[in-house]
Each structure stands twice: as structure tokens, then as C-alpha cells.
Amino acid sequence: MNTSSVRSATLAAALFFLLAGCGKPEAVVRVGFVGPLTGDQAAHGLDMLRGVQMALENVKSQGEILPGYRVELSVLDDQRSPSQAVSAAKRLASDPTVVAVVGHLNSSCTKPASVIYNEARMLHVNPVSSNPEISRQGFDNFYRVCPTDDLQGPAGARFAVEKLGAKKIFVIDDMTTYGRGLANEFMKKAKTLNVQLLGHEGIAQGEKDFTPLLTKVKSLGADLIYFAGMFPEAALLIKQRRELNVPASFLGGDGLYEPTLIQLATPQAAEGIYLTTLGADIHQVPKAKQFVESFEQRYHHMGSYSSYAYEATRLALEAIHRAGRPERTAVLLAMKGIKEYPGILGVHTFDEKGDTTLRTIGIFTVRDGKFQFLEAFEGKS
Amino acid sequence: MSSSELFLQQVINGLTIGSVYALIALGYTMVYGIMQLINFAHGEVFMVGAYLGLSVILAAGLQAPAAGSLAWFLFLIAVAAAGCAVLGLIIERVAYRPLRRAPKLSLLITAIGVSFFLQNAVMIGYGAQDRYLPSLLPAVTWGKGAVTVTPLQLMIFVVAFLLMVLLHRIVYATGFGRAMRASAQDPLAARLMGISVDKVTALTFALGSALAGVGGVLFGSHYSTVNFHDGYLTGLKAFTAAVLGGIGNIPGAMVGGLLLGLIEGLSAGYVSTQWKNVIAFAVLVLVLLFRPRGLLGERVAERA
Amino acid sequence: MTRKLLILLLVFLPFFDPNAYRVDVLATAALYALLALGLNIIVGFAGLLHLGYAAFFAVGAYTYALLNLNLGCPFWVGLPVSAAAAGAAGFLLGLPVMRVRGDYLAIVTLGFGEIVRIVVTNLEEWTGGPNGLLGIGHPVFFSYNFGVDSKPYYGLLLVLAAVVAWACSRLARSRIGLAWVAIREDELAAECSGIDVARFKLLALGLGGGIAGLAGCVFAAKQGTVTPDSFDFILSVMVLAMVILGGLGSVTGVILGAAVLSIAPELLRSFAIYRMLIFGIVMILLIRFRPQGLWGTAQIRKEMKGRHVSA
């Protein structure tokens, strides 16, 4: 043993005790929330967080959730990256005070994280990750309050063919679980509708230049571009489509439903694009009126996914309340007993996979620089 | 759209992004030439340039193109260039100069530290989301048949080319350039000849950073969105371009940038968007296997 | 004696720590230590500047993930196989790039790292594409399943890191280690004195790759999931930073570097959004005052004085 090992030991000791400073047990029970709070999709993540916070406040104001325990949020950031999502999930799973989790935004994050929550036997209520595969993993702890992409994709395909009269479609996705899954569901339906699928290509999130791809789409003579992905990439595609004079119309999924899209793409280029959304326009759902009003009063605009995060959080809190004990298994058991839950989006019943039976898909367009609701599809799987 | 029109359009697409790479690669190459330092923070300086442009636009309340837009646009570029030059001076002073005598690789750590710092400073100041950067040039598209080009695309190309020529003139036809080359070749001898190597290095840094700032504004305006992450990927590509052309060589940076842009554009257009980066990196590796110092890099004897 | 006890205490204390998050941070630090030890062989010992080290880590992780998911291969079989696969990747990368030196080697390895990451992303049918592979089996030791708890992984990684560290310090003093020093310091002179430069460079890449493969296998088993975004360029750069900050070529140093750079961001969590900003400043300051690395040896200091390590 020499002096250098002493030095390293002292340093290690210092590091360890610095780490040891955090966290001691109290009478708290926590609900985890994970979503992209930084990064290019932070807009969606923060909208969701607001919904989660508002749900906790509202439920708290109606009386004690779990007698003797303070209910808190444990908020983590996944930066829309699957590996960060897994790390965050492991952190929640290893904290025994966390009995339920609401999250994530992206299907590519929700899916790997759901494996961890399932191993930890923790109630997992998902707001908006619409990839159908997630609920097909056979996890009894997984619940989802939004319609899935095996409804959204076909609704988009029907709208494209029946209403827009598309004949030659080029499909682009962002290679995420969500994007690729949605694109596949869209194409599956489109093939049955007698249209020509000219091609299908993936782009990477964070890239900026899609002109070569759009030029190719133009040369193929497509009359519709279907994009399954999120708004930052969609905005660039829409703008570059205009700069290259690509005549094809543009249809996307719910990942585009964010007002920033129109600003980033410029209102001129975004004019007349179409998108499908999960659920109808929240402003037209009668039960959601009070929520929408108080939310808009506080934050000045309605987030695309805030209502789903709100709904998911209320469900999780209801399960905790019914469980009456701060234990994961009890909460999970209580959740199984929830039937015909009257939420703001409608009355939720969950099928054997944990998916809600509410299956409305909305269609929007952009008119005069604003999203405008066109119609609602009642999805059938 | 005929196949020749298609090809022409894809070449235009490739040259546009290639010109941006070239602009940033010029800065990489200059700094490398004098310090043999891969300045990993250079991509971040480029990103800061785009945000400086955004700041001016926000401060002046500029919107869509109007009368005098071109003047504003040139002003934007000037502000970004000047701001980034100052930033470059600060980085050199704070992060690199104190380590002049330290092992070369320790500079890599400060470069990463500076990268983290700049990225996060911008994220804190402007938010993590993509920000809209309105283009001040008219949003028209000039087209002959099916082929289109925007004024901004043309401008990016012309600016990149002019700056390369200017830089080449500075390095090979001015006293400062001579001092630069001398410092690069043998700092000790240069010092003995009365050249202030410190000053030359700092100025080189400032010049390289100014170019990155120009690139940032052009890039941001062209795509109309900026994000604090932009410096990372584009910086990496520009670095690749500089090496492809032969790092330390000014026309090489231009050639490397344009070539990389073309390879990317054509492989995305004719092969697959998903594979374009694999093709680009594979070409780079192949070029280096056959020309270990890049396309225009001079052959140097063992242990240069 | 008390010092030995102190070290033992520090190493074993986490096993009794009720805070799972803290243990997970330490397990991650041990994982990084393993990676840094491996990269140290390539950059610190043999002087090859490598910017694509994450690719070897990825090869290890995906090898185990695919073997486990498709063939039900147990972890303990997957561990050596992953190491061998990543080692082979290092060797294969080495064959064509022998001609390339210094910063050009850096960019070729960077390109290699990006190519591996994108290919893994694009070969969806095998790798699950950007969504990665899920449900990878955890290690089972006799009848004890490691599960999601970080403690057993911490233990396993400690053992692996200790063995690798011991092997590295033996290696550094062996004929092979001396040959690497000779190559690092002056390749031409080494070649002239009869050292088979290519063979020793390949050996360094193979060994370094193999260690990353070990780490990758444990990582895949620990996370239960592998996704390509875990293996990006940032990871390669961070591991390199650990090696340089700790002290190139010093075994104790790179372990220390790994501990500091992996634990510091966690300690800074209370600074919220200022976290990485402060981390950047910390990195600049650390190297500013210890340019030879936290644990730079006197030999390294002398060797590296004003000279390019990768020339």
C-alpha cells in the first residue's frame, strides 16, 4: 500500500459521501412522470407535464388521496432518447416510494421503459404513445388512454384516398417506433384501397436537409406525401417541399399537432396540409370544457397532449386512492378494478391489452396559419 | 421531371449543403493548420452564429422580407461574424492558450468542455426547442422547368466561394498570412524572426470563428429553424469535409465540403436517405486509405 | 492496514446502501471504468487516437442481445463471446487502417464508429432498428437472477474492472507494454529496432475492443434493452475524455477519470438546467490545473511534454 492508494481512497470516499447526501425516507408516495423535457420535443413534454401537475392539484383539492401520505410527483427527463428513457425507468423502478408512472411521450421510449415497469410490477399509465405493439407485449400493468396507430394509420389512409383522392402516395417516416409503426399501419390500409405506393423511406431525427428525398418524390410524380413522425422534421419537410415546388399534398400523423409546426414551416408552406390526431378536437368534447378553460387560463394555450397526460394521471391517482396502501401490487390490483372510468375525454374501459375503448381519430388541416378541425373518424380495429 | 432535370436538381441540393460544410470546414482547417488542433468546439461556434442572427432579428423585430431586407441580412451576417470572432478569441484565450505547453490531447478535453458550455448556455438562453429564424431574402424560387433554386441557395454558394478565395489570398499574399504559415511550420523559429505567435494564433482563431458565424446565419436562414444541437452534427460533417479535402489545406476544405455535400445528396436521392451517411463515411475512409492525407493534402515525409 | 480496510469498506459499502439510485450511479461508474481501461490500451499504451470506441461497445452489447434473444444463450456464455466478437471487430478495423496515422486515424475511427451505429440502426430485421432489442435476459448465477436491481451488476463490474486493471498493469510492464511505448514514442525508430509495429497495433485494438465487448455485454444484460442511440459519438468522446483526464497510460488514473466524469454529472443534478454547463466548466478547469491528467505519471508527463501523442 502506497501513498497513491491513500489518495485514491480519500478521493473515492469524498465522492461517495457527496453522493450520500441525498434522499431519506418519509411518509410520501410518488407518481413518476417521464417525458422529453429538454431537446427538440420539449414543447410536447412540457405540455404533458402541465397536464400531470394540474391533475394532481385537482385531485388533491377534492380530498386526501392516500390517508397519512403526501402524494408527490417524481419528474424525470428522457430527452426523447430510448436509452435515457430506460435509465429514467430504472431510477423510478428502484425507488420504492414510486408506486405508479405516467409516461412517456414517444413510443420508442415507452416501449423499452414498459419492460422495466413491468418487471418492477409498477402501474404504468401511458398518455399518448400510440404504437400498437406496446400493448401487445402481454404486460398486465400497462394501460393507455389514447387510441392507437392501428386506428390512426387506417383513418389517414381512408382520408387520403376517399377525401383527397390520392392515387400515388410516397410514405416517409422518422424510423422511430412511433413513426415506422404508423407508416406501416397506413400502408397496410392503403394497399387495400387501390392506390399506388411509390416508395417508403426513413429519415433520421435531428437531420435538416431533406431536399434530395423530396426531389426524388417530385420526380416520381407523387400526389400525396404521408409523413409519420414528429413536428420538427415535419416542419422542414413541409418548407422544403414548397421550395422545391413539389406539387404533392401533405398528410401527417398526430406528431405534427403542435402549433410550433406552422411557425417553423412558415404559414405559407404549411397552408393546406392535413393531419390525423388522437381523439377529436378537445375544444369540442363537452366533458373537457372545464379542464380546457382552466388550462387555457393558466397557460394561454392548450397543449396537444396535455389532456391525455391529465387523464392518465387522474387514473393513476384514482388507482392509488382505491388501493389505500402505498404498495405497487395493491395499486396495480386496484387499477384492474377500474371500469367505465368517467374521464374528460369520455368513458374509459380498458380491453385485455390495457387499451382504452375510446377510439376517435380527428382530422385537421392548416388554414390561415391555424389548425382547423375537419372531421372525426370513429376507428375500428 | 426528366432524368437530367432530376440530376441537376440533386446536384443543386448537394452543392447547397456542401457549401455550408465548406464554410465551416474552412475554419477547422485554418485552426488545424496553425495549432494541429482538432477544435471540436468549432461546430458550437457555428451554432452560436445562427443564434446571434436570430437575436438580431428578434431585437429588430424583423419579419418577412421587406424593403431593405438585403441590407439587414448583410448586417446579420456581419454581426454573427464579429460576434463569433470575439467568441473565438475568448475560447482561445481561456481554453487553449493556457494549455499551449501541455500534452496535445489535453486540449481535446477543453474543447469538449467548451462544447458542453456553449450548447447549454444557448439552451438556457433560448430554450431547447427549435426556434424559427425567418429568412430575410425573398421566398421566391427561380426555376427553369422542374429545376428550382432559391436566392439563398445561390448566396450560400457564392459566399462560400468568395470567402475561400479571400482566405487563400490572406494566407498566401499578406504579411499576416506569411506569419501564419511561419508559425504553423515552426513556432520557435517564427518567434525568433519577431513574429508574435500568440497574436497570430489568436487572430487565426478569430478568423476561423468568424467564418463559422457566417455559416451559421446562412444555415439558419436556409432551413429557417435553429436548435442548440445543430452544431454537433453539422460540425462533425464539416470536420469530415476538412479531412476529406486534406486538413490544413484551404482549397481542400472547399473541395471536401462540396464533395461531401454531393455524395450525401446524390446517395440520398438515388440510393436511400437512410444510408447516405454510411456512404459518405465509407467514401471518407476509402479516400484516406488511398490518400492518407486527404485529397489535396500534401505528401509529407514520415513524422511531419 | 487501515488504508486497505478503508478501500474495502468503500468498495463494499454500496452493497448495503438502501438508495438504489446511488448504487446505479456507482455501477455506471464501474462500467465506464471498464471502458476507459480498454480504451487506455489503444490510446494510452499504443498511442492510437481512437474516436469510435463506442462501436466496439455496441458490437459487444448487440452480440449478447442477439445470442440471448435468438438462441437463449445464457449470460456467462455470452460474456466471452461478446468480448471475442468486439475484439475481432477491433482487429478487423485495424487491418485496413494501419497506413493512417494521428488525426487521420482519429477521423477514420470516427467514421467507423458512425458507420457501425447507422448500420445497426438500418438493419431493422436483425437489430430492431432505432427501437433496438427488448427483453434481453439478465444474468443468472446458479439460481440467483440479477434482475433489475443494480447491486449485483455493480459487484460483477467491480470484479471485471479489477481483473482488467490488474491485467493492464501487468501488460504495461511486460515486453508487449514496452513495445507499445516504443511505438507510441517513435514509430519509425520502433520499426527500425525490429518491433513488428503492425502486429502490436493490432493487438492493442483487439484487446481494447475485447474489453469494450465485455462492458457491452454487461450493459445489455443490465439494461435489458439495447438501442443504437446508446452508442453515439458522444460516448466515444466521453470515454476518451476519461482516459485523458485520468492520465493517459495510467491504470489508476483512467479509473479515477471514469469515476470523476461519470459521477460528476449526477452530483450536479441539483443545478437542474445548469448541470451540463457547469460540467463543461469543471472539465476545462480540471485539465487546466492538471494538464497531464489527474493521475498522470511522471513518465507520461516527460514523454508527452509538448508532443503529439498520436504522431
Contacts of B282 in chain C (CB under 8 A): 111, 115
pLDDT tens-digit map of B215-268: 999 999 999 899 988 898 898 899 999 999 988 888 999 999 999 999 999 999
Q: What are phi and psi of B202, to 5 degrees?
A: -60, -45
pLDDT, tens only, C124-183? 889 988 888 988 999 999 889 888 788 899 999 999 999 999 999 999 999 999 999 999
Kindly report the backbone phi and psi dihedral angles of residue A29, in degrees, each rounded to the nearest multiple of 5, phi listed first.
-130, 140
B137 vs B69: CA distance, rounded Å = 7
Nearest to C115 among B114, B278, B303 (CB): B278
**Of the candidates A124, A77, A71, A55, which has an alpha carbon nearest to the alpha carbon of residue A335?**
A124
* Average pLDDT value for residue range C12-37: 88
Report the C-alpha gap between B81 and B87 in whole angstroms.
10
Rounded Cα distance between A136 and A355, Å, is: 10
Across the interface, whether the CB atoms of C134 and A115 are under 8 A apart is answered yes
Distance of CA A72 to the CA centre of its chain: 22
Q: Which residue has the cell 414498459?
A: A114
Nearest CA of chain B to the CA of A232: how many Å? Answer: 7
For residue A292, give the amino acid letter: V
Q: According to the model, what pLDDT value does residue A367 have? A: 96
| Predicted local confidence at residue A19, as pLDDT | 55
Q: How confident is the model at residue A3 (pLDDT cuts 50, 70, 90)?
A: low
**Cβ within 8 Å, pair C100-B289:** yes
- The x, y and z cell numbers of residue A143, run together, are 394501460
DSSP annotation of A129? -
- State whether residue A66 is helix, strand or coil: coil
> Does the beta-carbon distance from B224 to A266 stay under 8 Å?
yes
Closest CA–CA distance from residue B288 to any residue of chain A (Å): 26
In this complex, the chains that touch C, judged by 3 or more CB pairs closer than 8 A, are: A, B
Q: What is the pLDDT of residues C66-107, one digit of tens each?
A: 999 999 999 999 999 999 999 999 999 998 888 788 778 888
* Chain A neighbours, 3+ Cβ pairs < 8 A: B, C
Neighbour count for residue B131 (Cβ, 10 Å): 22
Closest residue in B to A44 (Cα–Cα): B129
Interface test with C, best of A4, A10, A19 (most C CBs within 10 A): A19
Instruction: Give CA–CA dist C50/B1, Å, rounded.
Output: 46
Identify which of A364-368, B5-9, B34-38, B270-274 has the greatest average pLDDT. Answer: A364-368
From C211's Cα to the closest Cα of chain A, the distance in A is: 21
As a whole number of angstroms, the distance between CA A366 and CA A273 comes to 6
Per-residue pLDDT tens digits for A257-284: 988 899 999 999 999 999 999 988 888 8
Q: Binning pLDDT at 50, 70 and 90, where does residue A16 land?
A: low
pLDDT in tens, C284-301: 998 888 888 888 765 555
Q: Do B110 and C283 make contact, defined as CB atoms within 8 angstroms?
A: yes
Whether the CB of B58 is below 8 Å from some CB of chain A: the reply is: no
Distance from CA of B187 to the nearest CA of A (A): 37
Contact list in A for residue B229 (CB cut-off 8 A) is 39-40, 206
CA distance C80 to chain B (A): 29
Q: What amino acid is encoded at A92 in this protein?
A: L
Average pLDDT value for residue range A339-356: 92
| Cβ contacts of A11 on chain C, cutoff 8 Å | 256
Instruction: Give the separation between CA B249 and CA B243, rounded to whole angstroms.
Output: 9
Q: How high is the pLDDT of residue C161?
A: 95
Interchain contact, C21 vs A9, CB within 8 Å:
no
Q: Torsions phi, psi of C144, nearest 5? A: -90, 115
C230 in A contact zone (CB under 8 Å): yes
Contact A379, A147 (CB under 8 A): yes
Indicate the residue of C96, C103, C293 with minimum beta-carbon distance to B289.
Answer: C96
The residue assigned the cell 440533386 is B10
Better-scored residue on pLDDT, B135 or B174? B174
A266: chain B residues, CB-CB within 8 Å: 134, 139, 224
Four-point Cα dihedral A281, A283, A288, A294, nearest 10: 140
What part of B 19-78 touches C (C-beta under 8 Å)?
Answer: 32, 36, 38, 40
Nearest CA of chain C to the CA of B94: how many Å?
A: 9
Confidence of residue C310 (pLDDT cuts 50, 70, 90): very low
Contact state of A244 with B273 under an 8 Å Cβ cutoff: no
B265 reaches A (C-beta below 8 A):
yes
Number of Cβ pairs closer than 8 Å across B and C?
150
Average pLDDT over residues B147-174: 91
Sign of CA dihedral B34, B40, B41, B43: positive
d(CA A294, CA A288): 10
> C19 and A82: CB-CB below 8 Å?
no
Question: Does residue C272 surpass a pLDDT of 80?
Answer: no
Cβ atoms < 10 Å from Cβ of B295: 18
pLDDT at B102 over 50: yes
- Chain A interface, mutation test: which of B130, B155, B229, B275, most A Cβ atoms within 10 Å? B130
- Distance, in Å, from the CA atom of C239 to the CA atom of C32, rounded to the nearest integer, reads 7
Angle at the Cα of A269 from the Cα atoms of A265 and A275, rounded to 5 degrees: 75
Q: Is A26 on the interface with C (CB under 8 A)?
A: no
Adjacent-strand bridge partners of A228 = A173
Which residue did the predictor score with more confidence, A335 or C224?
A: A335
**What is the Cα–Cα distance from A346 to A378, expressed in whole angstroms?**
13
Q: Which pLDDT value is given to residue A15?
A: 56
A263 contacts on B by Cβ (under 8 Å): 132
Tell me what pLDDT residue B215 has. Answer: 94
Q: Does B221 touch chain A (CB under 8 A)?
A: no
Alpha-carbon distance of C226 to C272, in angstroms, equals: 27
Name which of A214, A199, A207 is nearest A247 in CA terms: A214
What SS3 class is residue C86? helix
The four Cα atoms B220, C280, C111, B293 give a dihedral, to 10 degrees, of: 90
How far is the first Cα of chain B from the last one, in angstroms, to the nearest whole number?
51
Distance CA A143, CA A150 (A): 16
* Residue closest to A247 by CA, chosen among B14, B143, B269, B65: B143
Residue B19 in contact with residue B214, Cβ under 8 Å?
no
In chain A, which residues have their Cβ closer than 8 Å to the Cβ of B141?
243-245
% of chain C beyond a pLDDT of 70: 94
Residue C156, pLDDT score: 95
For chain B, give the DSSP string.
Answer: --HHHHHHHHHHHHHHHHHHHHHHHHHHHHHHHHH----TTHHHHHHHHHHHHHHHHHHHT--S--TTHHHHHHHHHHHHHHHHHHHHHHHIIIIIGGGTTS-TTHHHHHHHHHHHHHHHHHHHHH-SS-EE----S----EEETTEEE-HHHHHHHHHHHHHHHHHHHHHHHSHHHHHHHHHHH-HHHHHHTT--HHHHHHHHHHHHHHHHHHHHHHHHHHHSEE-TTHHHHHHHHHHHHHHHH-TT-HHHHHHHHHHHHHHHHHHHHHT-GGGHHHHHHHHHHHHHHHSTT-SSPPP--S--
- Answer yes or no: is pLDDT of C303 > 80: no
Q: Which residue of C has its CA nearest to B108?
A: C241
CB nearest A245 (choices: B10, B143, B234): B143
CA A367 to chain centre: 25
Residue B263 CA, distance from chain mean position: 18
Residue contact B269–A213, C-beta within 8 A: yes
CB of B209 within 8 Å of any CB in chain A? no
CA A260 – CA A271 distance, rounded (Å): 14
CA distances from C297 to A159, C249, C291, C303 (A): 69, 8, 12, 10
A162-171, C85-94, C298-307: lowest mean pLDDT where?
A: C298-307
Question: Could you give the ipTM of this predicted complex?
Answer: 0.90
Instruction: Return all residues near A179 (Cβ < 8 A) that are at least 6 apart.
Output: A173, A202, A228, A229, A230, A253, A255
Q: Is the four-CA dihedral A308, A314, A319, A325 of positive or negative sign?
A: positive
Residue C192 exposure: Cα atoms within 13 Å on the Cβ side: 4
pLDDT at C308 over 50: no
pTM exceeds 0.90 for this model: no
Contact flag A232-B264 (C-beta cutoff 8 Å):
no
- Grid cell, residue B273, equals 436517405
Chain B hits for A219, CB-CB cut-off 8 Å, are 1, 3, 5-6, 146
Task: Answer whether residue B100 shows pLDDT above 70.
Answer: yes
Q: Smallest CA–CA separation between C311 and chain B, in Å? A: 7
Residue A190 Cα, gap to closest chain B Cα (Å): 23
Chain A neighbors of C130, CB-CB under 8 A: 82, 108, 175-177, 180
* Predicted pLDDT at A21: 47
